[in-house]
Amino acid sequence: MPEELLYEGKAKKVFATDEEGVLVHRYKDDATAFNAQKRGSWKDKGRTNATMSATIFAYLEVHGVPTHFVEQVDDAAIKTKRLDMLPIEVIVRNVAAGSLARRLGYEEGTKLRAPIVELCYKDDELGDPMLNWYHFRELGVSDEDLEFCEELGLKVNEILTPFFDERGVTLVDFKIEIGRDAEGRLVLADEISPDTCRFWDKETGEKLDKDRFRRDMGGVEEAYAEMLRRVQEITQRGAVD
Ligand code: TMP
């Protein structure tokens, strides 16, 4: 039976399934940047983002982080729980890069004294602006949910920083999204991939993420393949421990 397409985004399609409350997220090879002003596509991007997300969600679950992940369906698709999404993008940063480097006037690569958490309003038309708690209260988000978002961001950072370090990668920063499941529990959602994280090789500083596309650096397909290789190789060897 053909699955019903519920939503098509810039880099993925979301389908309903025969199972109540279960969705399929199918990752495309397409990419956009700067709120879809720049477009591109490269081989195996969907496979990398689906497989890396599946591996990392499973790892986070083992480490006590509830997620929407159910199982990987095929190379480029994962099954997830259906959620009611919070209108928030949570960004956590360990090293100054991108918009934070611009905002603070720091050179990219400056290590931060402590992780910085930012909350952005998920709204493409507005360009996902960074807001504070007062703004989110105005939008009807509770303090309890805001606190959960910040704490979950920091917890994911504490788990994934050593995970990537063991794989020779500095986790510079990343973005996560959070939603409420049918039982009313907030869980980690969306994806964790080179689209949503900045990954720098620990030794050389080489960028292994979507900045290669955003900044026209070349080698984007190779960078995604290298990240997938590093995540899969060691994770398979050590299982999810
Ligand atoms: P920024 O430095 O451009 O604000 O990006 C911070 C982090 O958020 C970086 O890891 C890339 C990620 N990100 C997304 O996942 N989606 C987006 O639309 C943007 C702008 C950034």
The binding-site residues of ligand 1, defined as CB within 6 angstroms of any ligand atom, are 91, 97-100, 128, 173-175, 196-198
The string of pLDDT tens digits covering residues 122-136 is 999 999 999 999 999
Please say if the pLDDT value at position 53 is more than 80: yes
The string of pLDDT tens digits covering residues 169-223 is 999 999 999 999 999 999 999 999 999 999 999 999 999 999 999 999 999 999 9
| 103 CA to centre of ligand 1 in angstroms | 14
Q: Clarify whether residues 29 and 106 are in a common domain.
A: no
Q: What percent of the chain has pLDDT over 70?
A: 96
Show which of 81, 98, 119 is a domain's final residue. Answer: 81
Pocket test for ligand 1, best of 12, 160, 196, 215 (most atoms within 8 A of CB): 196
Q: Clarify whether residues 102 and 207 are in a common domain.
A: yes
Ligand 1 atom closest to 175 (CA) = 8
| pTM for this entry | 0.96
| 22 CA to centre of ligand 1 in angstroms | 27
Q: Are the beta carbons of 26 and 13 closer than 8 angstroms?
A: yes
The domain in which residue 187 lies consists of 84-235
| 139 CA to centre of ligand 1 in angstroms | 22
CATH of the domain at 158: 3.30.470.20
Question: Which residue is closest in CA terms to ligand 1's atom 20?
Answer: 34
Report residue 11: phi and psi, to 5°: -125, 5
Q: Clarify whether residues 55 and 110 are in a common domain.
A: no
| 1 CA to centre of ligand 1 in angstroms | 37
Q: In total, how many domains does the chain have?
A: 2
Show which of 81, 115, 135 is a domain's final residue. Answer: 81
The string of pLDDT tens digits covering residues 13-25 is 999 999 999 999 9
Q: Are the beta carbons of 98 and 91 closer than 8 angstroms?
A: no
Q: Clarify whether residues 133 and 212 are in a common domain.
A: yes
CA–centroid distance for 52 within its chain: 10
Show which of 43, 61, 81 is a domain's final residue. Answer: 81
Q: Clarify whether residues 229 and 204 are in a common domain.
A: yes
Q: Clarify whether residues 34 and 137 are in a common domain.
A: no
In a domain, residue 10? The reply is yes
d(CA 241, CA 223): 26
Please say if the pLDDT value at position 237 is more than 80: no
